[in-house]
Amino acid sequence: MYAKSEQMHNPSRHVGPVPNRRFIDRNRALGHQRIYRDYFGDNPTYPDYIFRRRFRMRRNLFSRIVEAFESHDSYFVQRFNVVGVPGLSTLQKITAAMRIIAYGVFVDVVDDYIRIAKSTAIESVRKFVIAIVHIFGEQYLRSPNDADIQRLMEVAEQRRFSRMLGSIDCMHWRWKNCPTAWHGAFLCRYHEPTIILEAIASHDLWIWHAYFGLPGSLNDINLLDRSNLFSEWAEGRAPKTISAPQGNKRKHFAQMQESARKDVERDFGVLQARFVIVRGPARFWDIETLKHIMLACIVMHNMIIEDERDLQNLDYDYETFDEALSIQISHENTSTTQEFMQFHHRIRDKSAHIQLQNDLVEHLWEKFGG
């Protein structure tokens, strides 16, 4: 499906011009005219609610992305050949990439409407996800700042789970085109190769932490050992939520914890509904492209959450073709080896974990139980 990547794993695959393949005049101008008339003209064919359903975001947010891309990467700027014939427009390339990501379809599906060749559509997807992460990743993949923490703490208090920033869970993305040599490492308990996304989400569906790329063969314990989340904690660079609360009524605590955990489970559901490409099997060969696709979807997901935060009764039942189916540099002083080991020991200390859990159980029962 993807010539360059497949060549690496299949040397016998034909490279170069395909015999007897004739040139197809797709009338690219018609494709741009359709998109502009249907969604971006002064009096577009389709109203705002249909735009949001098909593009997964409101028109103003999509326009912000288009403007940023034109300034960031010349690939998305329309070009003209030597005789003045226009190439694909910015809207055609970005809309093609969005349709493939949002609907999870094969690249051929977008050709007849957008008028874009298969190879160009694939390239547009690759360029699109890299640009999204590069332009918006620092803001929308950040850890919570002081203002974020204060807001999350206030909401946690209202929800009767004091001092909780978010809930953590993992999601497996099936890797259809996993190289045969890697099957053993990526084979999960469902007997198919998967790649794991570890995420922390808050009540409003914002994803505060995303760690993607670990093989599906890992279980929850050794996955956390490899996650950068706990290495940051060990270095004292992550926010702490529980110091020494009082309390211990386990049934009440289990109910509260299960309710909070549904935040991240619901978040995975909305993420996969918005961007079906991460719900179906991953068809790219190289894991770096898959990483950019997952992170780009999370960045856009958070951008949509921010844009729609004040709206009520939102509909997440998007149209699909298949119903079955930032890293910030720290300027703080680096911890010494001894300090790092002390932090790491405290994080992994089972008795300390049990004591903290018991304290929180008692605290929640005394404050909200009974």
Q: What is the pLDDT of residue 241?
A: 41
The confidence score (pLDDT) of residue 333 equals: 45
Predicted pLDDT of residue 365: 77
Give the separation between CA 337 and CA 234, rounded to whole angstroms: 11
For residue range 181-237, what is the model confidence (pLDDT) as tens digits? 888 888 887 788 999 898 888 888 899 889 898 888 887 666 666 666 655 544 444
Token pair 């890293």 is at which residue? 327
- Per-domain boundaries in the chain: 24-139, 141-368
Rounded Cα distance, 156 and 159, in Å: 5
CA dist list (Å): 350 to 82, 233, 354: 69, 16, 6
Please report where in the chains the tokens 């790491």 appear, as a residue. Answer: 344
Question: 286-298: buried (b, 16+ CB within 10 Å) or exposed (e) per residue?
Answer: bbebbbbbbbbbb
Q: What is the 3-state secondary structure (H, E, C) of 65-119?
A: HHHHHHHHCHHHCCCECCCCCECCCHHHHHHHHHHHHHHCCCHHHHHHHHCCCHH
For the chain, the first-to-last Cα distance in angstroms comes to 60
pLDDT at 250: 57
Over residues 339-349, the pLDDT tens digits come to 545 555 565 66
The pair of structure tokens assigned to 77 is 């700027």
DSSP 145-174: -HHHHHHHHHHHHHTT-TT---EEEEEEEE
- Give every residue of the chain whose pLDDT is below 70, as ranges: 1-22, 159-163, 220-261, 316, 319-349, 370
